[in-house]
């Protein structure tokens, strides 16, 4: 492994064992199919089944519900290791654990936990539905409405760019029950795929993360029982904000995994590619490129690990999460680009893995809060001290 060792010293023996198990699984079970899944734009169902079998879809869910009862930090490790092989795999596990499972654990009622957590641990893929055509960075400008019909709500609207939607059977979805109240009308709902009036629409044909599904959701007077409101009605904005803050740490982990994968490929190729009678890894110019990549990746990893540790310790982590997501996504794109340069002309062909990582890296600076939004968050925290 090309990554520096210093960050690994912060891991416990149990975490190191977990990390190595996920790494071996990713290399043996996902890597052989990564290119095939990317070209088909479909993630293999048998690999998702293995995610459940290994407990990777229920890392923080308590054992009483069938989960692994692990830590947020372990979820971050899993996302990193999967993403070093295929970032599409990383984001599937990320959304399930750090956003949906986390939100249910923190805000769902006892009955909701009993009903949904065992399913999420066993076989049910979930997704998080906040974004709409008119609400991206301005997440609270959502237009999806929820009207009170007595014993249920009736939801109407469309959601866009929803990760895991093609595979999901459970959707943590946000709608406004009182538009006049602005963001204070936003409410979180748990919606099952078979609810009347709910459907999954068009699947996006994307530049990167092609094996990870991204679809629109259509709500046509969708009937949702009041028992499926998560937390308090009108308090969904709090759930949305806090889950995204945590999810950004995992996106940082996805990006450092991607960057590490790019570096590993670049090192391997530099050692075997010969020019002017010797391996290009013997040229100082290439050595300097690799050294800079490794240093920047290590710095990004430490930012991500620090934010994850703070979260597990119950300490404030908003600024650290924004820094981790911002920097890791910048470094991932840079590392993937430099890896292509080390490969030279063949680097842009689909015969080699680095062009895929370059495509996959671009979304890191956009989803779960653009780089500008992260910078804004950091600046606000600095200026209010």
141 vs 189: CA distance, rounded Å? 17
Is residue 72 within 8 Å of residue 311, measured between CB atoms?
Answer: yes
Query: Does 368 participate in catalysis according to the annotation?
Result: yes
Token output for 242: 């806090």
Beta carbons of 304 and 249 less than 8 angstroms apart: yes
Residues linked to residue 145 through DSSP beta bridges, in sequence order:
156, 176
**Tokens found for residue 183:** 């963001």
Write phi, then psi, for 147 (nearest 5 degrees). Answer: -105, 135
62: which 2 tokens? 């308590």
Say how far residue 302 (Cα) sits from the centre of its chain: 18
Alpha-carbon distance of 332 to 131, in angstroms, equals: 24
Q: How far apart are CA 122 and CA 131, in angstroms?
A: 27
The catalytically annotated residue of 80, 216, 246, 368 is: 368
Q: Can you say whether residue 224 is alpha, beta or left, with left for phi > 0 and alpha for psi between -120 and 50 degrees?
A: beta
215 φ, ψ to 5°?
-135, 165
Identify which of 13, 2, 58, 9 has the alpha carbon closest to the alpha carbon of residue 257.
2
Q: What is the CA radius of gyration of the chain?
A: 21
Dihedral sign (CA 127, 132, 138, 142): negative
Q: Which two tokens stand for residue 255?
A: 């990006």
Question: ∠196-198-203 over CA atoms, to 5°?
Answer: 150
How far out from the chain centre does Cα 129 lie? 13
- Residues designated catalytic: 368
């Amino acid at each position: 492994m090309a990554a520096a060792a210093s960050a690994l010293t912060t891991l416990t023996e149990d975490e190191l064992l977990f990390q190595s198990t996920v790494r071996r699984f990713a290399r043996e079970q996902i890597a052989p199919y990564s290119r095939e899944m990317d070209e088909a734009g479909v993630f293999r169902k048998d690999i998702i089944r293995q995610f459940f079998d290994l407990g990777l879809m229920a890392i923080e869910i308590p054992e009483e519900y069938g989960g692994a009862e692990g830590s947020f930090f372990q979820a971050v490790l899993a996302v990193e290791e999967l993403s070093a092989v295929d970032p599409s795999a990383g984001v599937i596990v990320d959304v399930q654990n750090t956003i949906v499972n986390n939100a249910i654990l923190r805000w769902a009622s006892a009955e909701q936990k009993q009903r949904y957590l065992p399913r999420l641990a066993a076989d049910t893929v979930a997704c998080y539905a906040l974004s709409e055509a008119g609400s991206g960075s301005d997440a609270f400008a959502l237009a999806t409405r929820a009207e009170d019909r007595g014993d249920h709500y009736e939801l109407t609207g469309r959601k866009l760019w929803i990760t895991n939607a093609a595979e999901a059977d459970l959707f943590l979805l946000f709608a406004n029950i009182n538009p006049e109240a602005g963001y204070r009308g936003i409410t979180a709902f748990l919606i099952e795929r078979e609810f009347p009036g709910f459907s999954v629409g068009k699947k996006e044909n994307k530049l990167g993360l092609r094996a990870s599904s991204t679809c629109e959701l259509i709500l046509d007077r969708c009937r949702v029982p009041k028992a499926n409101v998560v937390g308090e009605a009108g308090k969904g904005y709090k759930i949305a904000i806090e889950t995204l803050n945590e999810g950004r740490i995992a996106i940082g982990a996805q990006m450092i995994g991607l960057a590490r994968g790019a570096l590993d490929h670049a090192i391997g190729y530099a050692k075997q590619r010969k020019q002017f009678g010797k391996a290009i890894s013997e040229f100082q110019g290439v050595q300097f490129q690799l050294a800079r990549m490794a240093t920047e990746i290590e710095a990004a990893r430490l930012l991500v690990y620090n934010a994850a540790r703070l979260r597990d310790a119950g300490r404030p982590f908003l600024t650290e999460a924004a820094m981790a997501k911002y920097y890791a996504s910048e470094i991932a794109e840079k590392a993937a680009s430099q890896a292509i340069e080390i490969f030279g002309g063949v680097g842009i062909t689909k015969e080699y893995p680095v062009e895929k990582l370059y495509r996959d890296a671009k979304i890191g600076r956009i989803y779960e809060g653009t780089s500008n939004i992260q910078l804004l968050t950091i600046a606000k925290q600095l200026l209010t001290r």
